Amino acid sequence: MNHSICIATSTRADWGLLKPLATALHQNPDIKLQILATNMHLLPRYGHTIDEITADGFAVDATVAMDDSADDSPQARAEAMAQCLSGTARELARLQPDAMVILGDRYEMLAVASAATLMRVPIIHIAGGEITLGAIDDAIRHAITKLASLHLTATEPYRRRVIQMGEAPDTVVCTGAIGVWNVFQQPFPTDAELRNELNISGESDLAVVTYHPATCDDADPTERFAALLAALDRFPALHCIITYPNNDPRSMGIIRLIERYAAAHPERVTAIKSLGMRRYLAAITAAKVVIGNSSSGLVEVPSAGTPTVDIGIRQAGRLAGESVIHCDEGADAIAAAIERALSPQMQQLAARRINPYAKANTLEIMEKAVLNFVVSLPHKPKQFFDIDFTC
């Protein structure tokens, strides 16, 4: 009996993580794979990354447009969420999937999950149980956990946390992080090929820079990012590959700064809307340091053998390996952290590739859990799992 599984994707980052699972499901003759693309995938200013999905050989079965206005206020993003919820409900009514796969914690994914819940489409949630105290994503992630019926967590502590939230242990599977699996299993360009693709001349050491607004930080993210750029000015020998932020509230100021900084320093800065998975893996492997506040710096980058400089509060609370250097938002603190990351001692430590998110056979475990879930449909209504506390 065939089962239809719809994968929801909204950004360059989550598609890069979801692609291996999408490939495995697509190759299974008992599964009808559907892909729903929304938000940043459909926006030219962020690279129109739906093209990356089709270039990977997948058909996009549904698109859900969200507002592309220049207003990046929290209100505008909330109103865009309403568009996403309505559009997702319409597409789910048409597609009629047996289950939906959602990764992570973005605001539009809460809209997707809400629509799926109301339409009684069971949710498979990837990467629950994590904590990021500096972003509203933290609350959204936990909300999606409570809407989901199957949970695929990246580490055992995260698995325990999902159970602590009232999810039955037999519905929570520790798979390891699929992004780490990508580092070791997916082909990507060599250093020379990457430089050629990005038109980077010379042999300067590379740095990959990705900075998003910390949505629980009261400070202006543009001022925060300006401090990062001031720190980068102290390392003129580094060639910086700077990627655009996600379209979170208050992100447009960061994009304007990136564009101005790249125009002022064309010899040592490459600004790019989206690297795509293969070039991103090549970049973090070839780089001497990865700088910013993206979750990838903590999850995937340690397995690439590269030190990470994690700035500010956005990832506070998330597990991190020894090759991750946390620092404050000031230019002096960032510069000191970059200096430490470039030291021979940290380069040698990072080369050991020790990573709390690594687990053998991640994709195999993930695929098996998803298939077991769908073949046992329909499920009984979720029960709250009460932990037996002993006082």
| Strand, coil or helix: 279 | helix
215-230 residue pLDDT tens: 999 999 999 999 999 9
* Average pLDDT value for residue range 18-34: 96
What does the block give as tokens for 148?
A: 């989901």
What does the block give as tokens for 230?
A: 């001031």
80-130 residue pLDDT tens: 999 999 999 999 999 999 999 999 999 999 999 999 999 999 999 999 999
* Average pLDDT value for residue range 276-295: 97
For residue 380, give the DSSP letter: P
pLDDT band at 67 (very low <50, low <70, confident <90, very high): confident
Q: Would you state the pLDDT for residue 389?
A: 63
Tell whether the model's pLDDT for residue 69 goes beyond 80: no
| Strand, coil or helix: 384 | coil
Task: Please state the domain extents for the chain.
Answer: 3-175+360-375, 189-350
Rg of the chain on CA atoms, in Å: 20
Tell me the one-letter amino acid at 27. Answer: Q
Alpha-carbon distance values, 74 to 81, 156, 186, 251, 379 (Å): 11, 34, 36, 11, 37
Q: Would you state the pLDDT for residue 61?
A: 97
pTM: 0.93
| Strand, coil or helix: 58 | coil
Which class is domain 3-175+360-375? alpha beta
Please check whether the two domains, 3-175+360-375 and 189-350, share a CATH topology.
yes
Q: Which CATH architecture best describes the domain 189-350?
A: 3-Layer(aba) Sandwich (3.40)
The kind and range of the H/E element at 172 are strand 172-174
Nearest alpha carbon to residue 349 among 309, 302, 311: 302
Q: Would you state the pLDDT for residue 13?
A: 87
- The dihedral region occupied by 129, where left means phi > 0, alpha psi between -120 and 50, and beta the remainder, is left
Nearest alpha carbon to residue 299 among 62, 160, 137, 130: 130
Nearest alpha carbon to residue 283 among 46, 292, 319, 176: 292
pLDDT band at 390 (very low <50, low <70, confident <90, very high): low
